[in-house]
Amino acid sequence: MPTRPEPIGSTPGTLRRRLATLAMVVLAVCSVAAGASSPSLDALLTEADALRTSDPKQVDRLIGEIEKLVPSATPSQLVRVRMLRVHRAMTSGASETAVAELRQILTESNDAPTRFQAASMLANTQAILRNFEDALRALDTALPLAPQIEDRDLRHRGLMVAAIVYNQVGEYALAKRYAETVAADQPVARTRCAIASVTLEARNGLKMPFDDATAEQGLAQCEGEPIIAGFVRWHFARHMADSGRAADAIALLDGSLAAIEATGYPFLIAQYHALLAELTLATRDLQSAQRHVDSALAISQDAMSTEAIVKAHYVAYQLALRSGGEEAALPAYIRFAQAERTHFNDIKSREMAYQVVRHQSMQQAQQIELLHQKNQLLQLQQSVTEQRARNWLLLALVLVVLVASMGYWAYKTKRMQLRLKRMTETDALTGIFNRQHFSERARAVLLQCERDGVPAALVMFDLDHFKQVNDRYGHAAGDWALREVAAAVQPLCRGVDAFGRLGGEEFGLVLPGLDAAAAVRLASDAQARFAAIDTTAAGYAFRLAASFGVAEAGTGMYTFATLLSHADQAMYAAKHGGRRQVRVYTADAPDILVAGAVGRLRDSVGETAAPALRIVV
Ligand SMILES: Nc1nc2c(ncn2[C@@H]2O[C@H](COP(=O)(O)OP(=O)(O)OP(=O)(O)O)[C@@H](O)[C@H]2O)c(=O)[nH]1
């Protein structure tokens, strides 16, 4: 039957404190990490930590002093004080108080070492209370934090709690692995002793043989640790018994029985007597067997070891069978059967606890994995959606850029076309219509006037003696004069009029809706403007004038070529009539002179008495 050291604190009465001391030796549940701001409190805490497993009375006295300094404690000191209180609760048998306080610490703290220590202590306390499911859950909280714990002793204590609890629930391989992990990490002597006990128990549970040297080496680590040393010897003895060395086992147990009884630890005392009862029965030392049965059963109430009880009842039944026969042995057999059932249930419930917690952990892990996968799926969907949105945005941007560049291109093309059109329609020097475009516009205007039945006039003018301007002042001055003349006429034109340069210094105007008299007025205005042009801006002083010819479109006379020819004739008459004058072409009286000398058109060709253009240098 498996046997294992029970967690400490489960035994009522006067032995409780000593049992708690053992728990502290094995699990060393204590405070760590000191704050620096209050040396006296730190000193008290350190002293209490040092004495926690050896002198509970002194620890109680120190706690009294520590409590007085709590109001001025730093947060880290407060954590140490709380751990000390938990320790005190455990050593005084107030396990439920310890559990509540540890749960509170776990709820409040995010600090890894604090949580590790609290969860390890909680696992230990729950095991003491035989709440193995809760103990295993507490380990599930503590163990993942172990790699973060830099304080080696604190880390070892937590891992050893795990090893002890796993032995208790029959998970010997796990227990052995944790003990070996700690063993490989330079543990202190006290921990090495606990490792020896846990390892031997696990090996027995796993039916793994070990030689005497292994057990003796373990015992060598247990100087000053009588209870743990007692466990090591008990596991050693059991190993001897299992390998047919009952006499050696009895000798080992008998040799240390007095020391074990001196510890006052009922669990271990009951275990010793129960195993001795079994072994002495096997060696037919019936008296000793009976004595050990009586001792084991006497302490069984405090021991809380179903294993020791069932062993003792079995030996009692065997002794009764041998002394009084089957009938006399029946009551003993019934007690044995009941004890065995209780023990069986106890074992099963421990093993079940492990399975339940593992199952729950697996379920939790699966749920976490499922959530993780769902989360990944959501993230994937989100990134797909985002990618799609980005693609749409990109597409929209490309479209916008495309449309914008197409628009810009269309705009540029249109502008280019317009510029080209203007260039083809415009006289480069003066900016007014060129001859070609003027002719087209004139034809269109005249056609419209004919349709509308309204009059129209065509005015032609040619600058007088312009050659002299070029010859005397240069071609640039001539160009300047041409631009000034065009600019002087433009304000006189309406939107419907067409004004163009017919070539050289010759210009034409088509004036829809105007008769000859109105056209003459406009020509006179233009003449006045030419006279007012200040040529000094070109660097020279000279005067500008022109000879104007006006033709009016009468009934059936809207043909541009005809009208242009008439105006040309009138202008020719103006030139020959003395220049700087306006002449109007009329079919019935073609020699009417307006705003200058009057004479028949054809007769008046040639110079007149009108003053020639005077050039002022
Ligand atoms: N600066 C300049 N001169 C031009 C341009 N086109 C024609 N001319 C000049 O205009 C002058 C026209 O001279 P003519 O035909 O003899 O006429 P005119 O000197 O004005 O004499 P009348 O018309 O008889 O009064 C010539 O010297 C041409 O070279 C031009 O674009 N720029």
Residue by residue, DSSP assigns 515-565 as -HHHHHHHHHHHHHHHHH--GGGGTS-----EEEEEEE--TT---HHHHHH
Lowest model confidence (mean pLDDT) among 5-19, 81-95, 260-274, 526-540: 5-19
DSSP 28: -
pLDDT at 22: 42
Residue 1 C-beta-side C-alpha neighbours within 13 Å = 20
- Give the pLDDT band of residue 99 (cuts 50, 70, 90): very high
Strand 546-552's sheet: what is its strand order?
498-503, 506-512, 456-463, 546-552, 582-585, 593-594
Give whichever of 23-37, 216-230, 460-474 has the largest mean pLDDT.
460-474
pLDDT at 288: 95
Closest CA to 61 of 47, 71, 72, 74: 47
The residue whose CA has the least distance to atom 5 of ligand 1 is 504
Residue by residue, DSSP assigns 105-163 as HHHH---HHHHHHHHHHHHHHHHHTT-HHHHHHHHHHHGGGGGG---HHHHHHHHHHHH
Q: How far is the CA of 505 from the centre of ligand 1 (A)?
A: 6
The residue whose CA has the least distance to atom 26 of ligand 1 is 467
Q: Per residue in 347-376, pLDDT tens?
A: 888 888 888 888 777 777 777 788 788 888
Res. 262: pLDDT tops 80: yes
Q: How far is the CA of 508 from the centre of ligand 1 (A)?
A: 16
pLDDT at 560: 95
Lowest model confidence (mean pLDDT) among 1-10, 261-270, 541-550: 1-10
Distances (CA, A) of 8 to 123, 164, 476: 12, 11, 121
pLDDT at 130: 82
* Ligand 1 neighbour 506 (Cβ under 6 A): no
- Give the pLDDT band of residue 612 (cuts 50, 70, 90): very low
Q: β-strands 546-552, 506-512: how paired?
A: unpaired
1-186 has which CATH code? 1.25.40
Residue 100 token pair: 């509540």
Query: Among 505, 540, 580, 607, which is best to mutate for testing ligand 1, by the most ligand atoms less than 8 A from CB?
Result: 505
Query: Looking at residues 192-205, what average pLDDT do you find?
Result: 91
pLDDT at 555: 66
Helices (H) and strands (E) in the chain — how many of each? Answer: 21, 6
Ligand 1 atom nearest 613 alpha carbon: 25
* Ligand 1 neighbour 470 (Cβ under 6 A): yes
* Ligand 1 neighbour 479 (Cβ under 6 A): yes
Q: How far is the CA of 544 from the centre of ligand 1 (A)?
A: 13
Distances (CA, A) of 67 to 80, 105, 262, 456, 598: 12, 18, 34, 121, 136
Cβ atoms 475, 534 nearer than 8 A: no
pTM over 0.90: no
Q: For a pLDDT cut of 90, what percent of the chain falls above it?
A: 53
Ligand 1 atom nearest 466 alpha carbon: 20
Domain ranges of the chain: 1-186, 435-594
Q: How far is the CA of 565 from the centre of ligand 1 (A)?
A: 20
Q: Per residue in 558-572, pLDDT tens?
A: 899 999 999 999 999
Q: What kind of architecture, by CATH, is found in domain 435-594? A: 2-Layer Sandwich (3.30)
pLDDT at 607: 27
Q: Per residue in 486-533, pLDDT tens?
A: 999 999 999 999 999 999 999 999 999 999 999 999 999 999 999 999
Q: How far is the CA of 580 from the centre of ligand 1 (A)?
A: 15
* Ligand 1 neighbour 475 (Cβ under 6 A): yes
Res. 8: pLDDT tops 70: no
Residue 228 token pair: 């743990």
Query: Looking at residues 563-584, what average pLDDT do you find?
Result: 94
pLDDT at 2: 36
- Give the pLDDT band of residue 54 (cuts 50, 70, 90): low
* Ligand 1 neighbour 503 (Cβ under 6 A): no
Q: β-strands 593-594, 582-585: how paired?
A: antiparallel
DSSP 9: T
Residue 148 token pair: 């973060």
pLDDT at 609: 28
Q: How far is the CA of 503 from the centre of ligand 1 (A)?
A: 10
Q: Per residue in 169-187, pLDDT tens?
A: 889 999 999 999 999 999 9
Cβ atoms 607, 573 nearer than 8 A: no
ipTM: 0.98
One-letter amino acid at 235 equals H
The residue whose CA has the least distance to atom 21 of ligand 1 is 465
